[in-house]
Amino acid sequence: YSMSAFSRLEKLGIRHPKPSPFIGNLTFFRQGFWESQLELRRLYGPLCGYYLGRRIFIVISEPKMIKQVLVENFSNFTNRTALGLEFKPVANSVLFLRDKRWEEVRGVLTPAFSPEKLNELTPLISQACDLLLAHLKGYAESGEAFDIQRCYCCYTTDVVASVAFGTQVDSWRAPEDPFVEHCRRFFQFSIPKPLLVLILSFPSIMVPLARILPNKNRDELNGFFNKLIRNVIALRDQQAAEERQRDFLQMVLDARNSSSPVGVEDFDIVREVFSSTKCQVDPSRQHPPRALSQPLSVDEVVGQAFIFLIAGYEIVTNTLSFATYLLATNPDCQEKLLREVDLFQEKHAAPEYCSLQEGLPYLDMVIAETLRMYPPAFRFTREAAQDLEVLGRRIPAGTVLEMAVGALHHDPEHWPSPEIFNPERFTDEAQQQRQPFTYLPFGAGPRSCLGVRLGLLEVKLTLLHILSKFRFQVCPKTQVPLQLESKSALGPKNGVYVKIVPR
Ligand code: HEM
């Protein structure tokens, strides 16, 4: 049993590190998934593999193969893989739903992320941004060096609370607020290492066992978020339609019985966002509803609010932190950006969704290059439903395919001098010359990031507001080069220490 699972990669002709009994290549990932991904690519090439416990993973950083998996053969690679032990609302979220139910729920959610809806959310995000600026002003006045990542954490928590959970908080001033405290506990929650090793080594016994074992912490967290959403639903049901706050939660509640007729062919928002610089907000655009096979249950509504915590919060915080670090350490780029910000501010008194999309091309390039160097979601997966041959390779049913976005973004064949921050890689001309599927910070295909517009909106709006008042500066406490952590999303290991100076 200890070694019987470990001949499959070799049979497929896929190179991999030597597995150890029971645990496979678990120890290969000791230093974190980011470093190990780059190491796997360096040692074994753009198509290689590993065993996590008894599970077989094929790691791909080859653009043509990635396209085959994410787009051309989507119907065979529809689902992401999961351990089977996810926290209940996480398992109910669109991130982990599978097959038909995923398609239905994604159809419900897609219109909630349209430019029209995001335009409605912009004031809520700006409100949280005002709180952030007030905190930063204190640091600018004192001239103290500080960890800006902590400020971004509070800011994104406030955004999640108001946009997804219908609750107003100021996490900076009120860290003891139950919402803030439960979010913190949710992120601290992890499976203890020895238990994880057991689960990976004996999945058929341990996964069902771990599901039924009592877990007070998990149940308490689950209960808190469930109760919070149930209370908001009850309150909104009592309010007249025009009194209800127009947030994401309300959009999901409005759509809980019926889906829009948006089908898989319309799901690829990432392609839409990156293929057009034109922004259209058309409030009259309405999708006639279509009945769902089953209305969304309260658990499922809670699950969709959770995508903001699991897919939005950490990734947006880390993107802002990385952008700050890169601007502070590249003052020429920052100066160029400041000039663009000043011009933009002269033209637009209050930024709206569309003006932000069209009026800040250099900011777009800076963010794109930040996500190229440090893609927070640097690995994501698809599971093979059936045996299939892809570009001459046999992929057996059940295999997990991992897109190695970190290795792809640091491949010198596609990105010369990949360690250098150079936003000019994202001029229109440079982008047209690049091979497709070499840049995937938001994934690709029908299952790509649903929140791409919202994520970019948050990052842009925040940097615009900050840079119109301050500039970032390195200080002796700034760690150069930045140490990274990659237990889940890629992030700075020890925060990002900078100074900010009033302009
Ligand atoms: C800079 C910010 C963000 C980045 C870099 C990012 C990146 C990603 C990536 C790489 C994936 C996997 C794509 C794939 O499997 O092909 C993903 C999925 C997803 N993201 Fe984002 N994301 C960001 C912000 C957000 C935000 C703000 C939200 C929503 C609140 C969000 C919601 C989702 C959802 C729901 C999925 C799963 C979609 C599905 O399974 O159908 N993301 N994101």
Which residue among 124, 409, 449, 456 has the greatest number of ligand 1 atoms within 8 angstroms of its CB, and so is best to mutate? 449
Residue type at 488 in one-letter notation: S
| Ligand 1: residue whose CA is nearest its atom 11 | 449
Tokens of 282: 């058309």
Task: For residue 97, give the ligand 1 atom closest to its CA.
Answer: 40
| Ligand 1: residue whose CA is nearest its atom 17 | 449
Nearest to residue 94, comparing CAs of 85, 82, 411? Answer: 82
Tokens of 372: 């190229």
Tokens of 385: 């439903």
Q: How many domains does the chain divide into?
A: 1
> Within 56-202, where are the H helices?
63-67, 88-92, 99-109, 115-142, 148-164, 178-188, 193-201
Cβ atoms of 380 and 405 closer than 8 Å: yes
Apex 67 CA angle, 66 and 69, nearest 5: 65
Instruction: Tell me how far the alpha carbon of residue 442 lies from the centroid of ligand 1, in angstroms.
Output: 6
| Ligand 1: residue whose CA is nearest its atom 9 | 442
Chain center to CA of 245: 25
- Sign for the CA dihedral angle at 339, 340, 345, 346 comes to positive
Residue type at 285 in one-letter notation: R
DSSP state, residue 280: -
- Residue 358 buriedness (CB in 10 A; 0-12 / 13-18 / 19+): exposed
| Ligand 1: residue whose CA is nearest its atom 23 | 455
Cβ atoms of 125 and 461 closer than 8 Å: yes
Instruction: Tell me how far the alpha carbon of residue 416 lies from the centroid of ligand 1, in angstroms.
Output: 27
DSSP string, 240-269: -GGGS--SHHHHHHHTTTEE-S--GGG--H
| Ligand 1: residue whose CA is nearest its atom 32 | 451
Say what the pLDDT of residue 366 is. Answer: 98
The SS3 of residue 138 is helix
Instruction: Tell me how far the alpha carbon of residue 164 lies from the centroid of ligand 1, in angstroms.
Output: 15
Tokens of 233: 């639903």
Three-state secondary structure along 1-34? Answer: CCCCCCCHHHHCCCCCCCCECCCECHHHHCCCHH
| Ligand 1: residue whose CA is nearest its atom 2 | 455
Instruction: Tell me how far the alpha carbon of residue 502 lies from the centroid of ligand 1, in angstroms.
Output: 34
> Greatest CA span in the chain, whole angstroms?
69
Residue 367's CATH number: 1.10.630.10
Domain membership of residue 413 as a residue range: 4-502
Task: For residue 376, give the ligand 1 atom closest to its CA.
Answer: 5
Cβ atoms of 369 and 67 closer than 8 Å: no
Binding residues for heme: 449
DSSP state, residue 68: I
Task: For residue 382, give the ligand 1 atom closest to its CA.
Answer: 15
Tokens of 33: 């998934």
Instruction: Tell me how far the alpha carbon of residue 36 lies from the centroid of ligand 1, in angstroms.
Output: 22
Q: Are strands 47-52 and 55-60 parallel, antiparallel or unpaired?
A: antiparallel
How far, CA to CA in Å, does 48 sit from each of 9, 58, 66, 249, 448? 9, 6, 13, 41, 23
Say what the pLDDT of residue 307 is. Answer: 86
Say what the pLDDT of residue 232 is. Answer: 86
pTM: 0.94
Instruction: Tell me how far the alpha carbon of residue 311 lies from the centroid of ligand 1, in angstroms.
Output: 6
Residue 71 backbone dihedrals phi, psi, to 5 degrees:
-120, -60
Instruction: Tell me how far the alpha carbon of residue 452 lies from the centroid of ligand 1, in angstroms.
Output: 6
Task: For residue 381, give the ligand 1 atom closest to its CA.
Answer: 15
Tokens of 66: 């990635």
Say what the pLDDT of residue 20 is. Answer: 93
Task: For residue 248, give the ligand 1 atom closest to its CA.
Answer: 30
Say what the pLDDT of residue 452 is. Answer: 95
Binding residues: 449
Say what the pLDDT of residue 405 is. Answer: 98
Quote the CA–CA distance of 172 and 176 in Å, as a whole number: 10
Instruction: Tell me how far the alpha carbon of residue 454 lies from the centroid of ligand 1, in angstroms.
Output: 10
What's the Rg (C-alpha) of the chain? 23
Instruction: Tell me how far the alpha carbon of residue 347 lies from the centroid of ligand 1, in angstroms.
Output: 32
Tokens of 301: 């509504």
| Ligand 1: residue whose CA is nearest its atom 6 | 442
Quote the CA–CA distance of 206 and 65 in Å, as a whole number: 34
Which residue among 372, 442, 458, 486 has the greatest number of ligand 1 atoms within 8 angstroms of its CB, and so is best to mutate? 442
Could you read off the pLDDT of 401-421 as tens digits, one per residue? 999 999 999 999 999 999 999
Q: Which residues have any ligand 1 atom within 6 Å of their CB?
A: 94-95, 106, 307-308, 311-312, 315-316, 319, 371, 376-377, 380, 441-444, 447-451, 454-455, 459
Task: For residue 440, give the ligand 1 atom closest to its CA.
Answer: 10
Task: For residue 308, give the ligand 1 atom closest to its CA.
Answer: 30
Instruction: Tell me how far the alpha carbon of residue 308 lies from the centroid of ligand 1, in angstroms.
Output: 9
Task: For residue 93, give the ligand 1 atom closest to its CA.
Answer: 35
Beta carbons within 8 Å of 134's beta carbon, 6+ residues apart: none
Instruction: Tell me how far the alpha carbon of residue 310 lies from the centroid of ligand 1, in angstroms.
Output: 9
Nearest to residue 461, comparing CAs of 132, 109, 116? Answer: 132
Per-residue pLDDT of the chain (503 residues; tens, 9 = 90+): 889 889 999 999 999 999 999 899 988 998 889 999 999 999 999 999 999 888 899 999 999 999 999 999 999 999 999 877 777 788 888 999 999 989 988 988 888 888 888 888 888 899 999 999 999 999 999 999 999 999 999 999 999 888 888 788 899 888 889 888 888 888 776 677 777 777 777 777 777 777 777 778 788 888 888 888 888 888 888 888 888 887 888 888 887 776 566 778 888 889 988 887 677 666 555 555 566 777 888 888 888 888 888 888 899 999 999 999 999 999 999 999 999 999 999 998 888 888 888 889 999 999 999 999 999 999 999 999 999 999 999 999 999 999 999 999 999 999 999 999 999 999 999 999 999 999 999 999 999 999 999 999 999 999 999 999 999 999 999 999 999 999 889 999 999 999 999 99
Residue 470 backbone dihedrals phi, psi, to 5 degrees:
-135, 165
| Ligand 1: residue whose CA is nearest its atom 36 | 449
Task: For residue 375, give the ligand 1 atom closest to its CA.
Answer: 5
Quote the CA–CA distance of 306 and 78 in Å, as a whole number: 21
Residue pointed to by tokens 């096979």: 293
What is the edge-to-edge ordering of all strands in the sheet holding 379-383?
47-52, 55-60, 400-404, 379-383
Q: Are strands 290-291 and 379-383 parallel, antiparallel or unpaired?
A: unpaired
| Ligand 1: residue whose CA is nearest its atom 20 | 449
Whether the upstream peptide bond of residue 423 has omega within 30° of 0, thus cis, is: no
| Ligand 1: residue whose CA is nearest its atom 30 | 308
Nearest to residue 287, comparing CAs of 113, 145, 461? Answer: 113
Instruction: Tell me how far the alpha carbon of residue 269 lies from the centroid of ligand 1, in angstroms.
Output: 11
